[in-house]
């Protein structure tokens, strides 16, 4: 029989078992083989360290790839395969109603609203024209030309929205203030009828008259004074030769209407004969040079 000693466990257990020459002693616990246990522990530690080092290296490589500056690839004459460019779809805006049609509708609607307004309807405003510009979609902007009763035109800004539901227009606040500020037109008076002109007085040929002391006037009736005759001459020249004069008499202290016409006399070549009547109906005849 084999000599006593330590031999591998015949039952295949871990570690060795002692043969005392007759029997196998009980298998020792794991702590009874400190050296083998220490070697196994070191083996596990080295494996763990190897795994950790590998993970750290892998993470470092990934971080380096992320942070390393990328260089542009060299240009190559060969075309790089890729997707062929395609045209982007064109964005189309809704087509609005023609500006001319909208403008005509706004003009009619604005005139109707002005006529129905309690204040503006009394001012005689007329919407002459509306010009619009298409902004976008169903929105328009433009100018409405409004004429007042006296013929003066004013431009009014207008914003318009036109769609299938109809046409809506809007003017800024106070857009028609110009019409309210204008004074009302003055009433027209009927034309004044003037009396028919008096028939010209035809003087007789070479009527006798008395030359006054001034030497510039003369009297041909008994109820006419030279002072009055001189006033007739002054009135005629002050009115630049008016045919009808209203002359004051310093004798009677009354005014008389005198009508003057050219006359032929022996005293003056370009004389005037002025004739009228006093309150009693007596003739007043004066000659002036």
Domain with CATH 2.40.128 in the chain: 210-288
For residue range 31-76, list pLDDT tens digits in order.
555 555 555 566 677 788 888 888 888 887 787 777 766 655 555 4
Give the residue range(s) of CATH 3.10.450 domains in the chain.
99-181
Residues 232/286, Cβ–Cβ less than 8 Å: yes
Q: Give the pLDDT score at 87.
A: 40
Mean pLDDT score, 67-91:
47
Model confidence band, residue 80 (pLDDT cutoffs 50, 70, 90): very low
* Mean per-residue pLDDT of the chain: 79
**pLDDT value for 86:** 38
The predicted model gives 169-180 an average pLDDT of: 86
Q: Which of 70-74, 241-245, 248-252 is least confident? A: 70-74
Q: What is the average per-residue pLDDT within 137-161?
A: 91
CATH topology of domain 99-181: Nuclear Transport Factor 2; Chain: A, (3.10.450)
Q: Is the pLDDT of residue 239 over 70?
A: yes
Q: Which fold has domain 210-288?
A: Lipocalin (2.40.128)
Instruction: Specify the pLDDT at position 217.
Output: 94
Question: Within a 10 A sphere around the Cβ of 260, how many other Cβ atoms?
Answer: 25
Whether residue 249 is predicted with pLDDT greater than 50 in this model: the reply is yes
Out of 57-71, 75-89, 229-243, the most confident range is 229-243
């Amino acid at each position: 029989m084999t000599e006593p000693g330590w031999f591998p466990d015949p039952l295949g257990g871990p570690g060795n078992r002692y043969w005392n020459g007759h029997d196998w002693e009980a298998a020792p616990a794991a702590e009874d083989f400190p050296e083998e246990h220490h070697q196994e522990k070191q083996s596990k530690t080295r494996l763990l360290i190897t795994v950790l080092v590998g993970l750290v290296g892998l993470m470092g490589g990934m971080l380096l790839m992320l942070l390393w500056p990328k260089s542009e690839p060299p240009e190559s004459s060969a075309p790089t395969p890729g997707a062929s460019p395609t045209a982007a779809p064109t964005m189309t805006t809704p087509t609005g109603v023609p500006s001319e049609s909208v403008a005509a509708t706004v003009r009619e609607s604005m005139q109707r609203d002005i006529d129905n307004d309690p204040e503006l309807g009394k001012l005689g405003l007329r919407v002459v024209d509306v010009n619009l510009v298409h902004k976008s979609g169903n929105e328009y902007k433009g100018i409405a030309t409004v004429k007042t009763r006296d013929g003066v035109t004013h431009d009014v800004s207008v914003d318009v929205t036109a769609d299938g539901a109809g046409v809506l227009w809007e003017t800024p606040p106070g857009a028609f203030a110009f019409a309210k500020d204008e004074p009302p037109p003055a009433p027209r008076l009927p034309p004044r009828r003037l009396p028919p002109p008096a028939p010209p007085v035809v003087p007789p040929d070479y009527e006798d008259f008395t030359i006054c002391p001034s030497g510039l006037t003369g009297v041909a009736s008994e109820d006419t004074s030279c002072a009055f005759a001189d006033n007739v001459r002054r009135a005629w020249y002050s009115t630049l030769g008016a045919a009808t004069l209203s002359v004051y008499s310093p004798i009677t202290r009354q005014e008389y209407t005198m009508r003057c016409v050219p006359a032929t006399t022996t005293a003056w070549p370009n004389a005037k004969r002025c004739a009228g009547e006093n309150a009693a109906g007596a003739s007043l005849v004066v000659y002036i040079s």
